[in-house]
Amino acid sequence: MTFKAIFFDMGGTIETFQFTREYRIAKIHLIRQCLEKAGIQPCASDAQLVDMITEGAITYLRWNLESNIELKPSEIWSKYFLTDLSVSSKALAPIAEELAFIYETQLFAREFRPEVPRVLEEIKRMGLTIGCISNTQSHDQVPHNLQAYGILDYFNPIVLSSVYGRRKPDPSIFYYATRLANAPTSSCAYIGDTINRDILGARRAGFRLAIRILHNFSNDESDNGTEPDHLIHNMEELIPILEQEIKNDSKHRVFSEKRRIKALFFDAGDILYIRPQKNQNFEHFLNIHNITPPPDFEAESKKIRDLAYSGQIKRYDYYKKILLLCGITSSKELAEGIFAMSEDDNTVEIMDGVPETILKLKKEGYFLGIITDTALSISQKLKWFEKYGFGHVWDVMISSREMGIRKPSPIMYEKAISQTGIQASEAIFVGHKKTELDGAKAIGMYTVAFNYEIDAHADVYIQDFRDLLKVPVLEK
């Protein structure tokens, strides 16, 4: 498994940052000027406005450390930063990005680590892809600062929580970045300054290395959760670590080059887990309200489901459309119905034999990935898997919701194959639906059917998930 890419955090890593109350008071006029563009004139002194924003930022940070959600700047400033002013997010929308940019570039004193350009040039010489994954409310701050430092061209991809909508330590933002870089997570390193966001997030996403660089800024938050692979004080200390990792590549090639199969990709639902009470809460909801779905419910609900699975509508909009299809319009009943459908989707049971089988395959050195059609986030599925000890093992996550297309489109399978750098003939797809197994077979993958439909066609059929280990093509 060749070492391919390194991703950097921005604030605290590529640059240091800090602030004092006095520093912010001297800069707060920039926020006032921006607010005035939207006709907002805070009835607060400079010191009061600074304290309001600073305390709001701490509260927001605590909330999104739990939720991992990055709100839009208009919501951040309305609900957290300017909460005492009772300003609506709608009123802030025209200036929200500018507010976020001013806050991140002017209300912090940022200082570029001077050794970074030399380090980036050396990493480029090593042939590694260089990317950035940053938590930020502004769309523009990170590329603006990278450009100002003269290093923007080194970074591709640049993944921002403000664009993606999820924040570190959510592993989904790491998977998204590695998909853009076309590299499996087990071939990547991440360097950041925080344990609870950077190191923990990289660990949860299965990164090969999680490196911490010291940064003397705490913001009064607890920073723990796991230990980094390396702790450095200066970015130049990164170079010998990466050089050694490249030399050690052969040690990471656990599987034999003579093996026919080098990767296994899995459908998720009805393969790794089942929903033991599928639609039970929804059907109970319909019954207690004496609601009968229309005659064309199955066909019309499938159209709505396709929109959700391809990421064209959000999950809760999907629930709402299904309920409207059933003739439900009252806000109370809509809320009840959405809750019932959400409970059905979020109640899962891991299939027998899955955790130990997946962990054994990982130990034996196979690439592991998921190719799933889903309206749910990758984050939600990984939470289920983490409870059983196999959330961190995945090299690749391909989701219809993020790709905008569903299986059996060849793009879904080909992207997974490309990201691991192997041939289709070197990969197994484990599925249960005829269409999905046929789609994998069509691009040259070996197919294994488990918990399968009666008309499913595959190279091998297994009745117990543990029997996957006995599939002949996996024999050494």
pLDDT per position as a tens digit, 182-233: 999 999 999 999 999 999 999 999 999 999 999 886 655 666 778 999 999 9
Does residue 44 share a domain with residue 94?
yes
| Domain edge (last residue) among 91, 107, 123 | 107
| CA–CA dist 315, 379 (Å, integer) | 14
| CA–CA dist 146, 152 (Å, integer) | 5
Does residue 465 share a domain with residue 381?
yes
Note whether residue 175 is domain-resident.
yes
Does residue 101 share a domain with residue 121?
no
DSSP state of 269: B
pLDDT of residue 476: 57
pLDDT of residue 384: 94
Split the chain (476 residues) into runs of 10 and give each run's mean pLDDT.
92 95 97 94 93 95 92 96 92 96 96 97 97 97 97 98 96 97 97 95 96 80 79 96 87 62 96 91 92 92 92 92 92 93 92 97 95 91 94 96 94 97 96 97 98 96 97 83
In the chain, the number of structural domains is: 4
Does residue 10 share a domain with residue 147?
yes
Cα-based distances in Å from 410 to 62, 347, 413, 424, 437: 41, 30, 5, 11, 11
Does residue 369 share a domain with residue 456?
yes
pTM: 0.94
Note whether residue 258 is domain-resident.
no
Alpha helices in 262-296 (DSSP H): 280-288
Note whether residue 315 is domain-resident.
yes
104 in Cβ contact with 138 (< 8 Å): yes
Does residue 444 share a domain with residue 313?
no
Does residue 142 share a domain with residue 248?
yes
Q: Is the dihedral of CA 227, 228, 230, 233 positive or negative?
A: negative
Note whether residue 33 is domain-resident.
yes
265 in Cβ contact with 413 (< 8 Å): yes
341 in Cβ contact with 334 (< 8 Å): no
386 in Cβ contact with 358 (< 8 Å): no
Three-class SS of residue 232?
strand
Q: What is the DSSP string of 123-167?
A: HHHTT-EEEEEE--S-SSHHHHHHHHTT-GGG-S-EEEHHHHSB-
| CA–CA dist 242, 261 (Å, integer) | 28
pLDDT of residue 129: 97
pLDDT of residue 223: 64
Does residue 468 share a domain with residue 366?
yes
User: What range defines the domain where residue 186 resides?
Assistant: 5-15+110-252
Note whether residue 257 is domain-resident.
no
pLDDT of residue 139: 96
Does residue 320 share a domain with residue 267?
no
| Domain edge (last residue) among 72, 107, 142 | 107
Does residue 324 share a domain with residue 197?
no
Q: What is the DSSP string of 371-398?
A: EE--SS-HHHHHHHHHHTT-SS--SEEE
DSSP state of 11: B
Cα of 474 vs its chain's centroid, Å: 30
Does residue 269 share a domain with residue 416?
yes
Q: What is the percentage of the chain residues whose pLDDT exceeds 70?
A: 96
pLDDT of residue 1: 65
Does residue 248 share a domain with residue 224?
yes
| CA–CA dist 378, 206 (Å, integer) | 14
